Chains A and B, each alone.
Chain A
């Protein structure tokens, strides 16, 4: 690593640490319905949406009603995107005359975008029309992100409220997330990205003849607008299959830095929003600090691994599968950020990362997308671990565990366990299923432990709603489309329902003021403990699997054996 690399890393982390608290303050104004920066220019849009929703827009909901509204809304989105793809040849804005999409791919893609996973079994530019990309996927990029944010906000309210039944209004949270946060930030980012050279066009692909006389098709499209929300909403589904490694999505170092930063911007801001909403700024900082510590540790390990002289390459470092213009540090920063947050956008092929860096990427996801994580989902994910930590350690101070003045009881633990268990079960059982079936093994391109890693990665990415892929696996088959689709659904809505149940339960609890004997969650000890619980509970589940994939591959590579 040279100085420029170090500066790149430090700048990224520093900018994040500066922007996050500011955003957190802004977010809290948005969700608490106060006047803020965006209410003047965009207030009319919320009013319009409120009128569309009708009376239900202002009613407080209990957690069951909140969940029902959320599920209905997402189901509707799923059906629309599914049908759009099945009928895309009959719909406008299809300049390349692309045919209808197969049912399983359409299903997988619909689930993928509605669940904020953005796993792409298809190649965007050659499978989906501009219509689908614009009115199906891009719309869900906003709405799936807003759904996650709404759930997180509902949980914050649950923790903040006392002796109440309700946790807010889903429509309000959804609209405010979209109108005041995602929309303006995307517009801003898209504008800047266009200035760096990202494509924004509705014209059909260019056909050019290269110097060597070969005809080449260069697809264009509304890239910049999709790019912005893809990054900000931790969606990750790129316009092009090569995602942000494609020069039309990510042309310059500045665009690279901007896109990189925008992956973590909203999730980081949510840590501070949390502090504000529960009236304990310090707690928000602690959570941000824990996320930061974990990401720095993962980044460090990956960079160390990548910069090790590679015996198989005669002592050079590996650039295969990476964009040379982005380089190792840029690629690793991105791979760490994108798997820590549940983005899944990429600027290098994760399959080509060194085994340890690939392992870190997988671990980031396996922990449940809680190191910043997805927009909203990262916060509620880490809060589940916070509840577990408080429960385990809280007992050790000789009181029944309490968090922010509220007792953590059987129901909260039950739901937290479910929230952790469901995605883990999907990863392990899904991978085992894929191994056991010929349809599962059919998609593999690699050999040796890397083949195992490919399958493990796919299910890890799907069940934790990340969406990035070890590019080696051919996932567009009925088996993978359906299996991964199920993993995405369970990993998303299983957790969301558990979280909303916790939110409802917390809202109804009474609050006990802290005393000298209360377990203090604002301390460094607690932060260290939280990291320990995340690594032990989250990590131990997957330790054997990781050993058999990236672990053994790393050791073999050091011994000069590659696959």
Chain B
């Protein structure tokens, strides 16, 4: 996450709105959905009543105020998490302003309001028009500015047929003309859904969140019982000791104890954690269509990755020159460069670049008028140049080895067994040998290879430590696939893969209990995307693919899958860490409040009975002890808001190390922190004379 974006979140405007929303959230009808905070609010209400109608001493007033703050801080954390999404939603809504659609019936064109469009209608979009709704290009090709949703200013090409046929409502056509068939109902467009998602309006609790809520509600109930019965036990114990404890064990004190014990920290931050998880994805330009998908992302243990674009740069590139016996490497490079000068394919360009990089050759020896380009044809399976130099013509050719050998032998040249060996070796290692000849003379060959992206091998090793298996999907033959798989360090590969095989592979993995994630863009990827537990559709892909997946990557960057998994894990870890922290905090709070309640029991008229020995923190007075615990409890919520929003730092380590690290920080830390915090607050408020 980048720092500047993070600070922007706490901009004055967002904070302002969040404060306003926090007050709205005091509504008990909203609050009741969160039992932990609902109980806290009831407690605050009860104390306020007591202050107003019964006993308005300084202590009770302060308790009531801090209880309200506890609720407020929890509301604030949720509001600010939502606020981040809302800001994003606002900018999206601007694209939804009423547009005019040019409806096309096949013969005539009529102008109607975009909101009147129906499923299956066809519309015409020309340069300057805003695409009125989601649809599929059925005729033509155009460049489209999608910056409204992707934030990316470079326009993209959309064309009928193929995998780039989807257009999104709200984007702008900047050149040419297309006919679009509408594929989304009004209110159900991609932008509509995005707005709903980022606003949190349609946010449903995820399965794990529900389970955690149940646990928190259970803990709340247990502590409620413990505190309610404690009143009875205390009164009775007082009677047994011949003391009247009713002035010490008052309702505000018991409410304080209850609020300190119930898991307010996690209860208050739980929904903020969930919202910010989706929010973090949005800021990585990934739209998760449900919170459930984000959670599932954390559980993924098999990644299906397309080779092209994810593991390798899209195209094969020249990586080395192998001269034939008796040929100088520089000569081979020079001739290969010449043969490729007019070749616009990526492979051709890469040969030019390699020759330049290795031998500083620039191909400027001949004037362009001397060079005649011989393009690639399916018949010759070669391309090259004819260079007229001082009356003679040099025919330089490059192409598949069998084609070039045939060409050379036809011209009466000889093949070289050494070169044949090199060709085989290149093929074995997953590369493509490209042979170069000048006339009847074999010069050697160029190794073309899929170049594996830098750092990807380390990334896969990292994934392996996280317990995630990577499977490379490629259309290559098994030999090539195996070589690239080995080089990239993936765990498994699928060669000559078809969409059906992908789907079957996903089903098989799921049968075995694995959770599978994959990316895809084409319509034929749609079934597999739908079947995968996390299916990330590329925004550049077809409408079918975007409908089938449960996430859309606006950047259309397949490597993003790894980030998505990390975000899912981070979300779950944050939840676990804060729950652990919250529960282990209770120990210290007991040591603060119980001696305050029972310190005077059996004191024989004095202040320090046997149980005052539990006051290990040496807190100033019973009142300051209770107040400090309540203040700490409230402040810890607001102090942890940034952590809840940003998420616990995730490192790709084995589960055992991760667990020990987090246990140390949030478990042991959770035990220790309140001892220190409560003591400090106690010193402060005693010094300030608040109690």
A285 within 8 A of B: no
CB contacts (< 8 Å) of A513 on chain B: these are: 512-514
Taking the closest CB of chain A, its distance from the CB of B410, in whole angstroms, is 57
Q: Tell whether, in the assembled complex, residue A548 and residue B598 are in contact, meaning their CB atoms are under 8 Å apart.
A: yes
Q: Tell whether, in the assembled complex, residue B207 and residue A555 are in contact, meaning their CB atoms are under 8 Å apart.
A: no
Given A556-B602, A556-B610, are A399 and B580 neighbors across the interface (CB < 8 Å)? no
Q: Tell whether, in the assembled complex, residue A520 and residue B466 are in contact, meaning their CB atoms are under 8 Å apart.
A: no
Which of A393, A408, A525, A555 sits near B613, CB closer than 8 Å?
A555
The chain B residue sitting closest to A548, CB to CB, is B237
B677 within 8 A of A: no
Q: Interface centre among A400, A448, A523, A558, by most B CB within 10 Å? A: A400
Given A421-B222, A511-B513, A517-B301, are A537 and B583 neighbors across the interface (CB < 8 Å)? yes
CB contacts (< 8 Å) of A413 on chain B: these are: 211-212, 214-215, 218
CB contacts (< 8 Å) of A429 on chain B: these are: 225, 229
**Interface extent on A, as a size class?**
35 or more
- B454-492 interface mask toward A, CB cutoff 8 Å, 1 = contact, 0 = none? 000000000011111100000000000000000000000
Q: Tell whether, in the assembled complex, residue A408 and residue B512 are in contact, meaning their CB atoms are under 8 Å apart.
A: no
Q: Tell whether, in the assembled complex, residue A547 and residue B666 are in contact, meaning their CB atoms are under 8 Å apart.
A: no
CB contacts (< 8 Å) of A394 on chain B: these are: 576
Given A410-B211, A428-B226, A542-B226, are A399 and B659 neighbors across the interface (CB < 8 Å)? no
Q: Tell whether, in the assembled complex, residue A547 and residue B583 are in contact, meaning their CB atoms are under 8 Å apart.
A: no
Interface of chain B residues 488 through 519 with chain A (CB within 8 A): 512-515
Measured between alpha carbons, how far is A542 from B576 in the docked complex, in Å?
A: 24
Q: Tell whether, in the assembled complex, residue B222 and residue A398 are in contact, meaning their CB atoms are under 8 Å apart.
A: no
Taking the closest CB of chain A, its distance from the CB of B581, in whole angstroms, is 10
A442 within 8 A of B: no
How many residues in B have their beta carbons less than 8 Å from beta carbons of A?
A: 75
- B225-246 interface mask toward A, CB cutoff 8 Å, 1 = contact, 0 = none? 1101110111011001100000
Measured between alpha carbons, how far is A398 from B663 in the docked complex, in Å?
A: 13
Q: Interface centre among A452, A540, A559, by most B CB within 10 Å? A: A540
Q: Tell whether, in the assembled complex, residue A400 and residue B298 are in contact, meaning their CB atoms are under 8 Å apart.
A: yes
Interface of chain A residues 409 through 467 with chain B (CB within 8 A): 409-410, 412-414, 417-418, 420-421, 424-425, 428-429, 431-432, 435-436, 447-449, 451-452
Interface of chain B residues 252 through 272 with chain A (CB within 8 A): 261
The chain B residue sitting closest to A406, CB to CB, is B513
Which of A417, A420, A432, A551 sits near B229, CB closer than 8 Å?
A432
Tell me the dominant secondary structure on chain B's binding face: helix
- B593-614 interface mask toward A, CB cutoff 8 Å, 1 = contact, 0 = none? 0100010011000000111011
A103 within 8 A of B: no
Which of A410, A420, A424, A447 sits near B240, CB closer than 8 Å?
A447
Q: Tell whether, in the assembled complex, residue A428 and residue B572 are in contact, meaning their CB atoms are under 8 Å apart.
A: no
Measured between alpha carbons, how far is A289 from B568 in the docked complex, in Å?
A: 34
Q: Tell whether, in the assembled complex, residue B580 and residue A409 are in contact, meaning their CB atoms are under 8 Å apart.
A: no
CB contacts (< 8 Å) of B234 on chain A: these are: 548
Q: Tell whether, in the assembled complex, residue B659 and residue A397 are in contact, meaning their CB atoms are under 8 Å apart.
A: yes
Q: Tell whether, in the assembled complex, residue A392 and residue B658 are in contact, meaning their CB atoms are under 8 Å apart.
A: no
Given A547-B614, A555-B610, are A525 and B222 neighbors across the interface (CB < 8 Å)? no
Taking the closest CB of chain A, its distance from the CB of B153, in whole angstroms, is 35
Given A396-B662, A399-B569, A544-B594, are A405 and B513 neighbors across the interface (CB < 8 Å)? yes
Taking the closest CB of chain A, its distance from the CB of B62, in whole angstroms, is 23
CB contacts (< 8 Å) of B232 on chain A: these are: 431-432, 435-436
A545 within 8 A of B: yes
Q: Tell whether, in the assembled complex, residue A517 and residue B654 are in contact, meaning their CB atoms are under 8 Å apart.
A: yes
A316 within 8 A of B: no
Given A408-B211, A517-B467, A517-B468, are A435 and B222 neighbors across the interface (CB < 8 Å)? no
The stretch that binds A, out of B128-136, B431-439, B584-592, B637-645, is B584-592
Measured between alpha carbons, how far is A499 from B513 in the docked complex, in Å?
A: 24
Using A431-B233, A518-B467, A525-B659 as known contacts, list a sample of 5 further A-B pairs with CB atoms less than 8 Å apart, ordered by residue number in A: A425-B225, A449-B240, A517-B467, A520-B656, A556-B610
Selected A-B contacts with CB under 8 Å, 18 pairs:
A391-B211, A393-B576, A397-B573, A399-B572, A400-B299, A405-B513, A409-B208, A429-B229, A431-B232, A449-B240, A512-B301, A515-B469, A516-B467, A516-B654, A518-B467, A540-B223, A540-B586, A547-B594
